[in-house]
Amino acid sequence: MTSPETPHDKLASHFADFLTSRSVVSSADNTRLYALAKTLAEQQAAGHSCIELDPADANLLLASGLASNNALTPLIVESQRLYLRRYWQYESRLAMQLATLAAIQFDILDPEPALARHFPTDRQESDAQQQAARAALTQALTVVTGGPGTGKTTTVLKILALLLELNPNPPFIALAAPTGKAAMRLQQTIVANKAHLNCPETIKQAVPESACTLHRLLGAKPPSPYFRHNADFPLPYDVVVVDETSMVDLALMSKLVDALKPGARLILLGDKDQLASVEAGAVLADIARGLPEQTVELRHSHRFQGQIKALAEAVHRGDAEQAWQLLLTGDDAIHRLKHDAISYIGERYRRYFELIAAGAGLNEIFTEFQRFQVLCANQQGPYGAEDINRRVERAAAQAWPQSIGHTWYPGRPVMISRNHAATQLYNGDIGICLPDPADGQPRVYFPDRDGFRGLRPARLPACETVYAMTIHKSQGSEFDEAMLVLPERANPVLSRELLYTGITRAKHRVSVFAERDIFETCVARPSVRHSGLGEKLIATGSQA
């Protein structure tokens, strides 16, 4: 039976129809052009910035009048790749801008004593961290990559202290991340660790604490795709730090780099082995591959050890047999669920609902909720996030009928799914519905820098229940226990990077609900993003 056409399919078909109706080749050749244009639109929606071409298709496209190497045509053919013109412009401009940044060097007078003070040589991880700091002091572009717990944020905190100490004119610094949730985590880490810096108190006080989303940093102007800050009106900052860069897509990274003022430093943090961005591109992985001189990888993990680390490494290597055996024979840190997933989830949330019923404080409720999270491969379908959320709510309604009988019940957790500047809520922010102590009416409370703030449900932007979320949406988060739920059947979303990302969200325990064939399909299938950014950066570097 043929699957129903999705909105993305329809859009791709209309796009292909529109283009081929304007070609100058024969109707027979138009059939091939239609297929190429439709594939390009579908692959761009799937996260690829281009598609690979064979020479015959490249020649056909160039002869059609629809494509050229660099002229004002809707399609661009370059190095046997086909682009939508807009994404070719993003990629080409970003490659040029990054190469320009990579060539800029700064002179810092005798940084070694300060480096030694912040990064003692008797610690196993200090060499790589000191290398990253030295690079950030002397280069305009620095990429610090590494797996969970390798100290990326701690390293950048020390880098900021060094920049403030060693520059006669202290730099103006911005901290940002792709989502509100990731920005909040960056901010919390900075605040929690500033006191431990080995530097004067005046420097500690000068290190900024506030972090924001990239959209807020750049000054989003919804509903347009434009930002307040750009090349003509650059950001005022001397140093811009971006955490969770693996989540940043090609278009947003291009606009960020475009908005840097001349002479600014850009420091990118992230795990290049995680899932790439939802939108087009694999920017962090491409930059790390294309600009190795600007990239430092941290390998020693402070909190990520034992069986969880072994499982993540087996998945990363593509060793499906070892990964499965670890699930079956590992210690309490990794656990395979064979059946009754909803009962297991309900048991894990029991303490959370008990706190809700007892009228516990916001700190205690949020702390308990963040201990456990269900992570699904898919949003829809059996065992997708929507399905799990419905089933958990039904089970909870049976256990707590006095509380769960309407949409905004006490304890309903929600995730914001669309940026909303008016309420300062952003995609990925998580809130919990609780009765207002003053009038008993439902409010949804969100953590912020000063504690919590509550909003009436009617004021919220688009949001969804979040006992379960997709692994994609979990990036930038960590939980005491992550429960990974894979679908009953293989689908295109499943990949090695998806599984690795889900596993590495867990600090103490990973539970996996999956059949062996689906689990092994994930491990065996690396995610491939078609992009020319890495090659452009390599080519630029070889010409330098």
Q: What is d(CA 519, CA 503) in angstroms, rounded to the nearest whole number? A: 12
Please check whether residue 324 is in contact with residue 172, taking contact to mean a CB–CB distance below 8 angstroms. Answer: no
Cα first-last separation, the chain: 55
Q: State yes or no: 290 annotated in a binding site.
A: no
Number of Cβ within a 10 Å radius of residue 14? 12
Q: State yes or no: 541 annotated in a binding site.
A: no
Q: Which two tokens stand for residue 454?
A: 């509550």
Task: Please choose, from the candidates 373, 349, 266, 336, the residue with its C-alpha nearest in 3D space to the C-alpha of residue 513.
Answer: 336
Q: State yes or no: 149 annotated in a binding site.
A: yes
Based on its alpha-carbon atoms, the radius of gyration of the chain, rounded to whole angstroms, reads 24
Q: Which residues contact 371 (CB under 8 A, 6 or more apart)?
A: 479, 480, 481
Q: Which two tokens stand for residue 193?
A: 């660790």
Q: State yes or no: 120 annotated in a binding site.
A: no
Q: What is d(CA 14, CA 8) in angstroms, rounded to the nearest whole number? A: 10
Q: State yes or no: 151 annotated in a binding site.
A: yes
Please check whether residue 220 is in contact with residue 227, taking contact to mean a CB–CB distance below 8 angstroms. Answer: yes
Please check whether residue 402 is in contact with residue 480, taking contact to mean a CB–CB distance below 8 angstroms. Answer: no
403-409: long-range contacts at Cβ-Cβ below 8 A with a sequence spacing of 24 or more?
403/353, 403/356, 403/357, 407/457, 408/433, 408/442, 408/444, 408/457, 409/433, 409/442
Task: Please choose, from the candidates 59, 1, 69, the residue with its C-alpha nearest in 3D space to the C-alpha of residue 29.
Answer: 59
Residues in the chain: 544
Give the position of tokens 């520059």.
167
Residue type, 16: A
Q: What is d(CA 365, CA 351) in angstroms, rounded to the nearest whole number? A: 9
Q: State yes or no: 346 annotated in a binding site.
A: no
Q: What is d(CA 383, CA 289) in angstroms, rounded to the nearest whole number? A: 36
Q: State yes or no: 473 annotated in a binding site.
A: no
Q: State yes or no: 261 annotated in a binding site.
A: no
Residue type, 349: Y
Q: Which residues are annotated as a binding site for ATP?
A: 146-153
Q: Which residues are annotated as a binding site?
A: 146-153
